[in-house]
A and B are shown apart, each in its own frame.
Chain A
Amino acid sequence: MIRHALVGAATLALAGCGNPQKIDPMQQVGPNPVLPAPHEELVAAVGVPKVVGWKPGETPIVPNGFHIEAMATGLANPRRVYPLPNGDILVVETDRQGSEPVDRPKDPIRDFIMSMAHGGGGAKETEGSAGKPQRITLLRDANGDGKPELKTILVDHLNSPFGVVALGGYLYVANTDALVRYPFTPGQTKITAAGQKVLDLPGGLIDHHWTKDLTASPDGSKLYVGVGSNSNSGERGPEAETNRASIWEVDAKTGAFRVFASGLRNPNGLTFYPGSNTLWAVINERDELGPNLVPDYMTSVKDGAFYGWPYSYYGQHVDRRVRPQRPDLVAKAIPPDYALSSHVAALGLTFYTGSSFPAGFRGGAFVGEHGSWNRTAYNGYRIVFIRFAGGRPVGLPHNFVAGFIGPDGKARGRPVGVAVDRTGALIFADDVGNTVWRVTYTGGNSGQPRA
């Protein structure tokens, strides 16, 4: 229907030379992405924009009828936003600690590229920049005007936290190495009690995908933790991947866990579809198979399902880099629901549960795409909206928030976690712009999501 909807400026620039994977990223969105043959380049294509941040007055771009404004600035690498039932908003300011052990001459080079993607270290030039941020900041905007009256550190000295959930008198925090909880009642502005460990999570020396996302089941009895892989495609060996690349189901009371679904390379944005018992997540797929492989995706996560990593992708497309091969597991691998196109680095997912946006947004998904590094033409660097009908995604993704890369090709910001606040506004964390942004509907458009 909105056939000309464009996701990203990458399309135009894609006519690159020497790349046999000549396809439009728009062919790689939706339920049946086009998957070209793998193309392992001699030198992996790298495209990381220089980070310059937002100048005063600069903002990301939103569709007509919407308004975007910074809700909090001067944060330190904010990655996740979490609205509490009382309207307070928690901002997880976090980064990985230390660097990965070097197994190969390639490793330090890759680490350098990754640090470029974050402007050479997230915490610099930000308040309290004593080392990397490890804290949760609370924003209180009691009158809902998008200008918090209170900005205070709720809890500090965590260990690379990412996911956070308030449940049953506790605040659960998914640190990179453990799920911990603090006695907590929404309204509280400071946590002084010591945390209790609920269970250990896979951390360790490598901890390649360190973000552990977290959500609770609708009945509050179970927690779900996203545990990313320890490598791109298994090159740290199978021992490094024990219980990784999976989503764990944790009993909130006892801390007992089981692997709920596996073969999910780096699952984030764990969210139950509103009014259902269906868990959704966005998954970062593998790199270094070419600019148009493998598409990242959004999927409902089925209990006990295996989604392929590392042995295969998109169902049963075998990754020939991984040995020993496991045809028995590949035979079980199921394809995900909805492709987002390659290397967009989807890290945030929320469903629109508010009522202040036009009707077409209700129940649809916002996906925060942090942006690519493993292709020369940037992909991602935006928040897309995907309409849902009957609890399933329909149609193409629509650009909703863009403009993270300026006309000069330099990055002002990069979106990560997304959420809907109690007024129905979309809020999201921008981890290189060090800002939490808030998007409100001001009227004046057709009431339909725009391209």
Chain B
Amino acid sequence: MAETVAHRPVRPISIVRHPIYSLFLPVPVVCFIGALITDLSYLNSGGNLLWVNFSAWLLAAGLVFGVVALIILLIDAIRGSAAWLAFGLLLAAWIVEFINSLVHARDGWTAVAGLGLILSIIGTVLVLVAGWFSRRAVEVVP
């Protein structure tokens, strides 16, 4: 790792030397994990709509902040300060969760049971792996 750092002197886009992707990347991570949890709560509750509404809002928030995180990671990747893999995985997570948000717009049980839950699981795994790969950039401390 030390060699990699040595070859990557470029700092990620930062505000007063603090990389800003670390502000925005956690939002989709937390929201998509949260949506998976509230999906499971909905199914477990036998149809308490509070939980599926939670999921829909978490997905919406994760998607909005996910766009910001994607733009930052894209710029960082172009500048060589972030892994393309992290960007690619976050993009994949975003696409899966966007489709998931359409499924979650259905009225009631079919918003989650079946396709909705599967997409929540896939999206959560993808966003977690994206977060894990983005970690390499954190080590870039000159």
Interface residues of A (CB under 8 A from B): 40, 42-44, 103-106, 231-237, 288, 320-324
Contact = CB atoms under 8 A, between A and B. Distances in A.
B57 A105 contact: yes
Contact of A40 (B46, B60, B110): B110
B47 interface: yes
Contacts of B109: 320-323
A103 B106 contact: no
Main secondary structure of the interface of B (DSSP, over half): helix
Contacts of A40: 106, 110
B60 A105 contact: yes
A324 B46 contact: yes
B108 to A, nearest CB: 4
Given A43-B102, A236-B49, 19 more contacts: A42-B102, A42-B103, A104-B56, A104-B57, A104-B105, A105-B56, A105-B60, A232-B107, A234-B107, A234-B108, A320-B110, A321-B108, A321-B111, A322-B47, A323-B46, A323-B108, A323-B109, A324-B46, A324-B47
B50 to A, nearest CB: 8
A104 B111 CA distance: 12
B53 interface: yes
B49 A237 contact: yes
Contacts of A234: 107-108
Contacts of A105: 56-57, 60, 101, 105
18 contacts: A40-B106, A40-B110, A42-B99, A43-B102, A44-B105, A103-B49, A104-B57, A105-B56, A105-B57, A106-B56, A233-B108, A234-B108, A235-B49, A320-B109, A321-B108, A321-B111, A322-B108, A323-B109
B49 to A, nearest CB: 5
Contact of B53 (A43, A103, A288): A103
Contacts of B60: 105
Residue among A103, A321, A322, A323 having the largest count of chain B Cβ atoms under 10 Å: A323
B71 to A, nearest CB: 21
B110 to A, nearest CB: 5
Nearest to B61: A105
A42 B100 CA distance: 9
B107 A231 contact: yes
Contacts of A320: 109-110
A98 to B, nearest CB: 20
A237 B105 CA distance: 15
A43 B99 CA distance: 9
B97 to A, nearest CB: 13
Contacts of A321: 106-111
B102 A323 contact: no
Residue among A231, A234, A235 having the largest count of chain B Cβ atoms under 10 Å: A235
A237 B49 CA distance: 7
